Structure 1
Amino acid sequence: MTSNTSSPSEDRSGTNSENRLNAWLRFSLLAASSLTVMAGATMSPSLPAMKKHFHDIPDVAFWVKLLLTLPALFIALSAPLAGWVADRFGRKRLLILCIVLYGFSGTAGFLLDSLVSILISRAILGISVAGVITSATALISDYFFGPERARFMGYQAAFMGLGGVVFLLAGGALSEWSWRGPFLVYSFAFFLAPVAAIAVFEPQRKQAYESALPGDPESLHLPVIGFLLFFAFAGMVVFYLIPVQLPFFLEQQFQAKGFISGASIALATLVSSICSLNFGHLRKRFSHLMICVLICLFMGTGYLIFGSATSLIQVWIGLAICGLGFGMLMPNLNLWVVAVTPEAFRGRVVGALGAAIFLGQFFSPVITEPLRGGTGLDRLYEGAGAFLLLGALILTSWNFMRKRHRLA
């Protein structure tokens, strides 16, 4: 961040900047980031109950699962536009507006009576999430630099995970009361909006918003960005097997109810949060590419374990191992993409990354539901584990060849 009276380096480390990065600002950014978890997974424990409530609707199982993933489609469609708006008109305006919209669209399901109207509210929810996560991540990359950015992006992912634990447990408990109960969790946004409006400030940047497009597109490191977008999409297709399919897997295998499903998903989220908290230390020891290898290794092993589970304990062990991998995914993607993106173009590239992530979430049931019907959920999880371990092997080989090429 720059000012009229100091150089960029002085402003970035100066006392005024540090004073403005107070606890409430940090809380606002972290809490806003956690809203993305609430958008989808909070509804997961109530899916079986919703299926029974709307039993007279044809293909109800598909439409109910779509409630969980539809926001992801609209996040993906809206995120590039949200990135452009953030670069052009400012991060703070977009953040506050979308937090308020999030509260109204999220809680609407508590009052609505038809599945179609709930689906529409979920689509609007997705649009609001696109603005929230794009502006929040762009603000973090504007406020923080160097190792501090790596640490705070780890905190961001951890806070998303810890928020997910709270929201999932709350959603699971409220789903025991009514399938409408989890919609009340979204009212958290009404508390967050005024706090963020007061605490967040619009950062000054080197280029004005009017001239945000960089002159040299090659400085974007397009091959790296392309790989990151693919990895984000594929990773979320596989990871979202947990919130979308796990409640049905647990009900089928162990006759588990909503609270057990929510607590099981929350376990993976809690472990991922602990891992994310330590991402700054992890990044000092491993390259971004090797962290991708570790992500595939842990998630693949976890899927194999709970896909073949004969007890809830084995399911929880597998979910915990899977959580270790997912805890590295988001901070690694976010930190890597901002490292290879010019400041002026950052909002749009972060928006593209968000689009890839949430397209993966949306297409997860579309891609995996036919496989589930043909093989069963246990085989689906085991197959996903094998796919991830193969990915770890391919990335390890690629990293080895890159190192040998550099030494040649």
Structure 2
Amino acid sequence: MTLPPCRTPALPPESAAAAGRPNRRSERLLVLNLVAQMAFGLIAMTIFLPSMQEWASVLGASQASVQLTFSGYVLAYGAMQLIYGPLSDRFGRRRMLLIGLALAGTASAIGAAVDGVHGLIVVRILQGAGAAACMVVGRAAVQDLFSGPDRVRVMAYVGMAMGLCPPLATVIGGQIHARLGWQANFVFLAVLALVLGVGVLRGMPARPRQPSTAPERHWLREMGAAYLQLSREPAFLPYVAILSLTVAAFYAFLSGAPLVLHHYGVGPENVGWYIMAVPLAYIGGNYLTSRLAHRKGERWMLAAGLGVSLAGIGLMTALGLAGMNTPLAFVLPLILLGIGNGLLVPACLTATVGLVPALAGSAAALAGVMQQLMGALGAYVVGWVPHEHPVGLGAVMMGFTLAAVAALAVLRTREASTPA
């Protein structure tokens, strides 16, 4: 991988390549740093899932109130990306990352001392508001620091980490809870935020502001102008639609799979083992992307990802219609869904943030928010269908994925009609 010289003026001396040769060790550390920053939000989101089973009794609260600790995090995590993205374009990536990590770390430290559910809700909202910076700024930083196929490869590494984070964080959170108590998970996140902050200061190149002859405007007006400019890009909205609809189908699976598996006699203690097959396949798909990025074009990756995903959903639905209502008949075909998403998402993310390089942060923010909103919609729609078999869930997932195919068709039409 080669870092473009014009994008890395603040790299430390040891990262510069002698005689024009890249320092691969420095680049690997940079990739590791970026992946860790983006993983933080998912870790903080899912590490408390085991603890939530006991918070209702421990804190004397209703389960509905406990669920708000998760919903509040997700909403803040999505909404704040709209703020951090444009601000990182204006004031720099490192500054916004440090602000977000400081907010998330401080909230985590406070959370270790909270003993009521309302306090936990507030703390979790603040955690989500801080962690949002890590995801959106990390994505924009990939756009700043890498180019061409290397950018897609790095996004593939990010995708592998994103697929691994939820199951690992849930396991780690459960073990910490059992051995040290649920408060220790807040301490763990506070320490992790501090470590990541040090990583930003020592290993994250500063992004210079883009020179501009336009007069200075208030940052809110600048933010609105950025989103308006992105919306006018012919390819931007189709890319965001493809990405968001794909995530909606995946969230529908995550929320609907436990309901279907329950009818197959799979209890809570074993549901995770079946669901894990799809995120692990997603990691495999991202690995394939990292190997294919230099040989296959972006459009090929998008079409292949959607095609493989549709094949998995279609096979799962067909087996359900044929009466093969077993856990393995339900889950194993969806390995193709994980692989397809692994092929699709890195290329789509890269294209989304790369259309207007000067607005990479704004693009990453808008894409992130739409992912969260459509993912929430996917999870909600699952409640409208029966779950005695996977056919209803398959119909929901197929609907979102076919809509993504339609968005890809719109993308190709717009690009074909746009003058070169």
Aligned to 2:189: 186
Tell me how far 1:82 sits from its aligned partner. 0.5
CA distance in 1 between partners of 2:111 and 2:392 (Å): 31
Tell me how far 1:215 sits from its aligned partner. 10
Any conservation in 2 of the 1:307–1:315 contact (CA below 8 Å)?
yes
2:207 is aligned with 1:227: no
AA at the equivalent of 1:290: A
Aligned to 1:330: 345
Question: Equivalent of 2:366, from 334, 348, 352?
Answer: 352
Question: Equivalent of 2:382, from 347, 350, 368?
Answer: 368
CA distance in 2 between partners of 1:216 and 1:351 (Å): 10
302-311 or 128-137, larger mean C-alpha shift: 302-311
Question: Equivalent of 1:113, from 100, 112, 115?
Answer: 115
Aligned to 2:303: 290
Q: Classify 1:254/1:231 alpha carbon distance in 2 versus 1 (closer, same or farther; 3 Å).
A: same
Aligned to 1:33: 38
Aligned to 2:12: none
Any conservation in 1 of the 2:354–2:360 contact (CA below 8 Å)?
no
Q: How far does the alpha carbon of each residue in 1:163-218 deviate from its partner, in whole angstroms, 9 at most, with x for none?
A: 33422332455567799389456353333322332111203365369699799976
Tell me how far 1:69 sits from its aligned partner. 3.8
Aligned to 2:250: 239
Any stretches of 5+ residues in structure 1 without a counterpart? 7-11
AA at the equivalent of 1:387: G
Question: Equivalent of 1:273, from 283, 294, 300?
Answer: 283
Aligned to 1:387: 399
Q: Classify 1:398/1:349 alpha carbon distance in 2 versus 1 (closer, same or farther; 3 Å).
A: closer
Any conservation in 1 of the 2:226–2:362 contact (CA below 8 Å)?
no
AA at the equivalent of 1:164: P
Aligned to 2:148: 146
AA at the equivalent of 2:206: E
Aligned to 1:128: 130
Any conservation in 2 of the 1:162–1:270 contact (CA below 8 Å)?
yes
Any conservation in 2 of the 1:106–1:186 contact (CA below 8 Å)?
yes
The residue matched to 2:234 in structure 1 has which SS?
Answer: helix
AA at the equivalent of 2:279: T
Any conservation in 1 of the 2:48–2:173 contact (CA below 8 Å)?
yes
Tell me how far 1:399 sits from its aligned partner. 7.8
Q: How far does the alpha carbon of each residue in 1:230-279 deviate from its partner, in whole angstroms, 9 at most, with x for none?
A: 33333333312344444455455434234x33444433222211211221
TM-score by length of 1: 0.78
2:91 is aligned with 1:89: yes
Aligned to 2:208: 204
Aligned to 1:9: none
AA at the equivalent of 1:162: L
Percentage of matched positions with identical amino acids:
18
Tell me how far 1:91 sits from its aligned partner. 0.2
Tell me how far 1:123 sits from its aligned partner. 1.5
CA distance in 2 between partners of 1:169 and 1:4 (Å): 38
Q: How far does the alpha carbon of each residue in 1:363-392 deviate from its partner, in whole angstroms, 9 at most, with x for none?
A: 4444433x15x6668454222233245446
Q: Classify 1:75/1:220 alpha carbon distance in 2 versus 1 (closer, same or farther; 3 Å).
A: same
Q: Classify 1:3/1:237 alpha carbon distance in 2 versus 1 (closer, same or farther; 3 Å).
A: closer
The residue matched to 1:196 in structure 2 has which SS?
Answer: helix
CA distance in 2 between partners of 1:245 and 1:291 (Å): 25
Any conservation in 2 of the 1:69–1:361 contact (CA below 8 Å)?
no
Q: Classify 1:289/1:326 alpha carbon distance in 2 versus 1 (closer, same or farther; 3 Å).
A: closer
Q: Classify 1:200/1:242 alpha carbon distance in 2 versus 1 (closer, same or farther; 3 Å).
A: same
AA at the equivalent of 1:345: L
CA distance in 2 between partners of 1:330 and 1:84 (Å): 22
184-193 or 125-134, larger mean C-alpha shift: 184-193
Any stretches of 5+ residues in structure 2 without a counterpart? 10-14
AA at the equivalent of 1:355: V
Q: Classify 1:102/1:170 alpha carbon distance in 2 versus 1 (closer, same or farther; 3 Å).
A: same
AA at the equivalent of 1:144: F
Any conservation in 1 of the 2:30–2:203 contact (CA below 8 Å)?
yes
Q: Classify 1:393/1:231 alpha carbon distance in 2 versus 1 (closer, same or farther; 3 Å).
A: closer
Any conservation in 1 of the 2:77–2:128 contact (CA below 8 Å)?
yes
Q: How far does the alpha carbon of each residue in 1:18-76 deviate from its partner, in whole angstroms, 9 at most, with x for none?
A: 4494433221101111123224344445555556767863xx3x554444343232222
TM-score by length of 2: 0.76
